[in-house]
Amino acid sequence: MPSDKEQKKSPEEEAEEKKYSFLQEKIKDEAFSRKKVLYKISWLVGKGLLFGVAASIGFFALKPWAESTFQKNPDKIEIPKDEDTQNTPSEDTQTTQEEFTIEKYKELNSLLTQTALEAKKSVVEVSAVHENGNLLEEDRGADHKVSGVIVADNGQELLILTEMDALSDVSELQVKFVDNTTCTATVKKKDANIGMAIVGVDRSLIKDTTWDRIKVAELGNSNVLSQGKTVIALGNPFGYSDGMGIGIASSVQESVMLADGEYKVIVTDMPKSAESSGILFNIDGAVVGIIAPDLGADTGVLSAYGISSIKSEIELMSNAKEVPYIGIVGTMITEDIATAQNIPEGFCVTEVEADSPAMKAGIQNGDIITHIDKKKIESVIGYHSTMITQDVGTEVTLTGQRRGAEEYVEIHFTVTIGIKE
């Protein structure tokens, strides 16, 4: 029981106790509000979403401006050239005959099909829209398609090699990729001499899903392709779209003489149509030939320009440069022929194309060209290799021999390098 002293406090003690009474108060926690917490969380999430939407809109709105403002120059395309080698069959020191079973055939067929499908990623289809709005295939047949192959990527565009005939008098080009998506394309350069052109597709037009399905083709060495080797034809080799054929190179010794050069031709055992176009691949999936409708017209079999013969033209056009042109067709007078017939060595002119730089310079059939700017011509390939490095619009001096009344006399021609349109 409390004492009287504890029960009753003096006035001074009560005053002192009252003075420090606030120290005895308990601080209570603020009552937990679930509603307030959810509100704050919702507010923060909403603010984050709003910021994300605004950032996305800003990114897509500014992307074209940024790409056009900070766009770098296209990368220079360089295509390694191949040495011209004689396609002579190798001699096997030992021949072993293995049994060819159904299982081995199935395995071989599966491997070739896989190679073809992988190579197909670089093959495209080119359609042209004329001024009247009609598609090219409407003018030339509903099933007509023009094939192309992706040969380079310069950082701004995918560059596609295709037939030049498809690009005549057109207002718009459409390129269809292997996944069936289409993009508009523009003509970069054309070369009427070989009948081919490079068209470009802006990289920004290509969908991300398409990038996963396509690739730039590997340009192989057609000079080492030997007779009997397996080749794969893709594109439109048989007159219809998305065709595939597997055959052999039945001949690799054929060639065609065009202005300013000799171009090797790969002849296959596969049939052709009147409008065949497409790409030849080897068993490694590398391009070895470009199928052209004008080749093999008299034989009825699929034929293609050897890719090694046209790499210089492809590189020039891929870098938006004109292909040099003089306009003479000829054959080589070798040392043996010159000695036997008592005529000069050199590049003997058999045809001068009408309105060509050669005709304007006065070159005639029968002239034997011996030098280009003091560089001796020792082969048709050598003539082409020297001519193709000249800049369009510049003058070169062709030195030659022309038959006079009694003997050949030296003659000089000043030729302005042009282009064939």
One domain for residues 332 and 295: no
One domain for residues 125 and 180: yes
Global pTM value: 0.77
One domain for residues 207 and 226: no
Question: In a 10 Å sphere around its CB, with 0-12 CB exposed, 13-18 middle and 19+ buried, how is residue 276 labelled?
Answer: buried
H-helix segments, 284-393: 311-318, 335-341, 357-361, 380-387
Is the residue at 60 inside a domain? no
Domain range for 157: 118-211
What's the angle, vertex CA 246, arms to CA 243 and CA 252, rounded to 5? 115
Residue 101: the pLDDT is 86
One domain for residues 353 and 310: no
Q: How far apart are CA 302 and CA 278, in angstroms?
A: 10
User: What b/e sequence results for 182-207 when a residue is b if at least 16 CB atoms lie within 10 Å of its CB, and e otherwise?
Assistant: ebebebbbbbebbbbbbbbbeeeebe
One domain for residues 241 and 205: no
Say how many CA atoms lie within 13 Å of 355 toward its Cβ.
3
Q: How far is CA 390 from the centre of its chain?
A: 24
Is the residue at 9 inside a domain? no
Residue 220: the pLDDT is 95
Q: What is the CATH number of the domain that holds 346?
A: 2.30.42.10
Q: How far apart are CA 409 and CA 176, in angstroms?
A: 57
Is the residue at 364 inside a domain? yes
| Domain end residue (candidates: 289, 318, 347) | 318
Residue 329: the pLDDT is 96
What residues are paired with 399 via a beta bridge?
Answer: 371, 412
Residue 94: the pLDDT is 55
Residue 93: the pLDDT is 45
Is the residue at 1 inside a domain? no
Q: How far is CA 108 from the centre of its chain?
A: 29
State the total domains in the chain.
3
DSSP 259: T
Q: Print pLDDT tens along the chain (421 aa).
A: 444 444 555 555 555 555 545 444 444 444 445 555 556 666 665 666 666 655 555 555 555 555 555 566 788 878 877 776 655 544 444 556 678 788 888 888 899 999 999 999 999 999 887 655 555 544 443 334 689 999 999 999 999 999 987 677 676 889 999 999 999 999 999 999 999 999 999 999 999 999 999 999 999 999 999 999 999 999 999 988 899 999 999 999 999 999 999 999 999 999 998 888 999 999 999 999 999 888 877 888 999 999 999 999 999 999 999 999 999 999 999 999 999 999 999 999 999 999 999 999 999 999 999 999 989 999 999 999 999 999 999 999 999 999 988 899 999 999 999 999 8
Contacts of 349 (CB under 8 A, 6+ apart): 328, 329, 330, 358, 363, 364, 365, 366, 367, 368, 369
Question: In a 10 Å sphere around its CB, with 0-12 CB exposed, 13-18 middle and 19+ buried, how is residue 162 labelled?
Answer: buried
Residue 247: the pLDDT is 96
| Domain end residue (candidates: 211, 236, 267) | 211
| Domain end residue (candidates: 259, 286, 318) | 318
Residue 164: the pLDDT is 85
Residue 70: the pLDDT is 54
Q: What is the CATH number of the domain that holds 311?
A: 2.40.10.10
Is the residue at 175 inside a domain? yes
Is the residue at 206 inside a domain? yes
The answer to whether 411 and 362 are in contact (CB under 8 A) is no
